[in-house]
C-alpha cells in the first residue's frame, strides 16, 4: 500500500464514521421531536439556555446534548453477582459490530486520479471520463483508481451477513452476565428475534444477487445505474428487507427484547452510564447502517437517474434525448451527496414507522417472521428465477423492450425526486399555522353550545 492509498483509506474511514456518528446523534433528536409532531403532543422543551434574560431551546436540540452529558457523568453501576468481564464486553461487541459494516458500503463511484492529473489545474472544467470500464492506471506516475469504499472486498454481501450476526452475541452476553431474570428474558427474546429475521434478511437478497450477477455492493450500484433501481426489479424483496432490518434493529413495532411494560429495559436493564449509552447509540447506528445497505442494494446507491460517470445522458432505448459531458470531479461529488441524502430519507422513514405502529405481541412477532416473511422470501426467489430464465431466453426484441422500460423507471424516479424536493422546499418556506382541533362529538357539541362551565371544586 502506497502512502497516497493509506491517506485515502483514512479519509474514507473518517467520512463514513463521521457521518454515522453525527446522523445517529441527530436521530435521537428526530425521534423525540418527530414523535411529538406525529402524536400531537409536547416534544423536547425542557432543556434550555438562558441568554440576556430569554430562554432558548433551539428546537429541542439541547436534549441530545443533555443525554451525552448524562451518559458520561452517571454512575457506572454493576450488579454484585454479575460477570465483570462479559458485562463490560457486551456493549463493546454490540457497538463494534455496527461499525464493521461500514467497511464494505460504497458511498461513491471510483475516482480516477489519472484524469485529475491530466487536466489539472483545469480539473473543474476538464473533459469527463469514460462511462464504462476501469479507470486508467499509470504505474510510472503512481496513479491508481480509488474506490470510495473503505475495504472493497470481493465478498461484499457475505461480509455483511457475517458481521451483522455478531450483534446477537452482544445482546445475549449482556442479558446472561447481568444476573437479572428480566435481562435474561430480554436476551433470549433478542437472540431468537434476530436469528429469525436474519434468515429473511439474507433470503430477500438472493433474488437481487441473481439479477445483479454479483455479491459486490459497488457492482450492484453500477448495474442499477445502467438499468433500473433494485426496487423496480425486486419490489417484494425491498419490502421484505426493510421489514427484516427494522426487526433486526429491535425498533418499534419489533422492540420486544426491551419492552418496558414487560421487561423493564430488557437485556440492558442493569446497565448505566456510558455502557447504557453504547447500547442506546448502537441502536441508532444500526438504523444508519441498515439504511445504507437498503439504499445501496435497492435504491441505486450513489447513482441518480440518467447521471453516469461521464455526465448526463437522457435516453430511452436507442433514442438519445440529451447528452452532456460533465467533469469527473462533479460527478463524484454529486454521487456522494446523493448517497448520503438517500440514507437520511430512509432513516427519516424509519422514524415514521417507529411512532406510527403499535408494538406486536411476541407470538405475533415470531409468526410474522416464520409464517409470513420467510415464505414470501422463498417465493420471491422462485419467481425471480423463473422470470429471469424466461426473459433471458426471450430474444432481442424483449431485451430492447426491457431496456426502454428500465429507462422509463429512471424517468419516473427523476420526476418523483423533483416533485418531493419541490414540496419539501415549499413546506419549509410556508409559515406554520397552529390550529386547535376538537376531537370527538362531545367536544364539538360543547363548543357549539358556548363551551363547558367549570364549577368550584368541593372538599
pLDDT tens for 219-239 read: 899 899 888 899 999 999 999
Mean pLDDT, range 194-221, rounded to an integer:
88
Domain for residue 241, yes or no? Answer: yes
Domain for residue 443, yes or no? Answer: no
The CA distance from 275 to 169, in Å, is 16
Backbone angles phi, psi at 457, to 5 degrees: -75, 140
Share of the chain above pLDDT 70, in %: 86
Domain for residue 453, yes or no? Answer: no
Enclosing domain of residue 414: 3-37+51-425
On the question of pLDDT at 341 being above 80, the answer is yes
Mean pLDDT, range 90-111, rounded to an integer:
85
Domain for residue 210, yes or no? Answer: yes
For 115, what's the count of Cα atoms within 13 Å in the CB-facing half-sphere? 25
Record the cell numbers describing residue 376, joined without a space. 414470501
Domain for residue 446, yes or no? Answer: no
The CA distance from 199 to 230, in Å, is 20
On the question of pLDDT at 205 being above 60, the answer is yes
Whether residue 25 contacts residue 17, with contact meaning beta carbons closer than 8 Å, is answered with no
Domain for residue 66, yes or no? Answer: yes
Whether residue 160 contacts residue 293, with contact meaning beta carbons closer than 8 Å, is answered with yes
**pTM of the predicted protein model:** 0.83
Q: What angle do CA 423, 348, 195 make, to 5 degrees?
A: 150
By C-alpha distance, which of 326, 137, 117, 335 is closest to 218? 335
The number of residues making up the chain comes to 459
Query: How high is the pLDDT of residue 295?
Result: 93
Domain for residue 442, yes or no? Answer: no
Residue position matching grid coordinates 425486486:
234
Whether residue 154 contacts residue 175, with contact meaning beta carbons closer than 8 Å, is answered with no
Please, what sign has the CA dihedral across residues 326, 330, 332, 334?
negative
Domain for residue 458, yes or no? Answer: no
- Structurally, the chain folds into a number of domains equal to 1
The CA distance from 446 to 440, in Å, is 10
The CA distance from 108 to 333, in Å, is 8
Query: How high is the pLDDT of residue 377?
Result: 92
pLDDT tens digits, one per residue of 348-378: 888 888 878 877 887 888 888 888 899 999 9
Q: Which residues, at least 6 apart from 61, have a Cβ–Cβ distance to it below 8 Å? A: 29
The CA distance from 386 to 421, in Å, is 38
Mean pLDDT, range 423-436, rounded to an integer:
76
Amino acid at each position: 500500500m502506497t502512502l497516497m492509498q493509506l491517506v485515502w483509506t483514512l479519509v474514507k474511514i473518517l467520512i463514513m464514521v463521521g457521518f454515522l456518528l453525527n446522523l445517529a446523534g441527530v436521530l435521537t433528536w428526530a425521534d423525540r421531536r418527530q414523535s411529538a409532531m406525529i402524536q400531537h403532543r409536547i416534544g423536547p422543551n425542557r432543556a434550555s439556555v438562558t441568554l440576556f434574560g430569554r430562554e432558548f431551546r433551539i428546537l429541542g436540540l439541547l436534549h441530545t446534548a443533555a443525554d451525552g452529558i448524562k451518559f458520561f457523568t452517571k454512575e457506572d453501576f454493576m450488579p454484585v453477582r454479575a460477570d465483570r468481564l462479559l458485562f463490560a464486553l457486551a456493549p463493546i461487541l454490540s457497538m463494534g459490530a455496527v461499525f464493521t459494516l461500514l467497511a464494505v458500503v460504497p458511498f461513491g463511484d471510483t475516482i480516477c486520479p489519472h484524469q485529475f492529473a491530466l487536466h489539472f489545474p483545469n480539473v473543474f472544467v476538464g473533459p469527463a471520463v469514460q462511462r464504462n470500464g476501469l479507470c486508467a492506471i499509470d504505474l510510472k506516475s503512481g496513479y491508481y483508481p480509488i474506490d470510495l469504499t473503505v475495504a472493497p472486498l470481493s465478498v461484499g454481501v457475505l461480509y455483511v451477513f457475517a458481521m451483522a450476526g455478531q450483534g446477537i452475541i452482544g445482546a445475549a452476553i449482556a442479558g446472561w452476565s447481568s444476573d437479572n431474570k428480566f435481562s435474561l428474558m430480554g436476551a433470549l427474546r433478542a437472540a431468537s428475534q434476530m436469528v429469525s429475521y436474519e434468515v429473511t434478511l439474507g433470503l430477500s437478497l438472493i433474488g437481487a444477487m441473481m439479477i445483479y450477477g454479483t455479491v459486490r455492493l459497488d457492482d450492484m450500484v453500477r448495474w442499477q445505474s445502467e438499468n433500473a433501481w433494485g426496487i423496480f426489479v425486486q419490489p417484494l424483496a425491498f419490502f421484505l428487507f426493510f421489514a427484516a432490518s427494522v426487526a433486526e434493529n429491535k425498533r418499534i413495532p419489533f422492540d420486544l427484547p426491551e419492552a418496558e411494560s414487560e421487561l423493564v429495559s430488557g437485556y440492558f436493564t442493569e446497565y448505566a452510564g456510558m455502557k447504557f449509552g453504547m447500547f442506546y447509540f448502537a441502536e441508532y447506528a444500526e438504523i444508519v447502517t441498515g439504511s445504507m445497505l437498503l439504499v445501496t442494494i435497492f435504491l441505486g446507491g450513489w447513482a441518480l437517474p440518467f447521471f453516469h460517470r461521464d455526465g448526463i445522458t437522457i435516453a430511452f432505448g436507442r433514442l438519445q434525448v440529451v447528452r452532456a459531458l460533465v467533469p469527473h470531479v462533479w460527478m463524484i461529488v454529486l454521487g456522494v451527496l446523493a448517497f448520503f441524502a438517500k440514507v437520511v430519507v430512509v432513516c427519516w422513514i424509519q422514524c415514521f414507522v417507529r411512532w406510527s405502529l403499535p408494538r406486536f405481541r411476541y407470538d405475533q412477532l415470531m409468526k410474522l417472521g416464520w409464517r409470513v416473511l420467510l415464505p414470501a422470501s422463498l417465493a420471491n426467489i422462485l419467481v425471480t428465477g423463473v422470470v429471469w430464465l424466461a426473459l433471458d431466453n426471450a430474444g432481442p426484441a424483449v431485451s430492447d423492450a426491457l431496456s426502454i422500460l428500465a429507462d422509463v423507471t429512471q424517468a419516473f424516479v427523476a420526476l418523483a425526486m423533483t416533485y418531493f424536493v419541490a414540496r419539501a422546499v415549499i413546506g419549509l418556506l410556508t409559515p406554520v399555522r397552529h390550529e386547535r382541533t376538537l376531537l370527538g362529538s362531545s367536544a364539538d357539541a360543547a363548543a357549539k353550545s358556548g363551551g363547558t362551565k367549570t364549577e368550584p371544586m368541593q372538599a
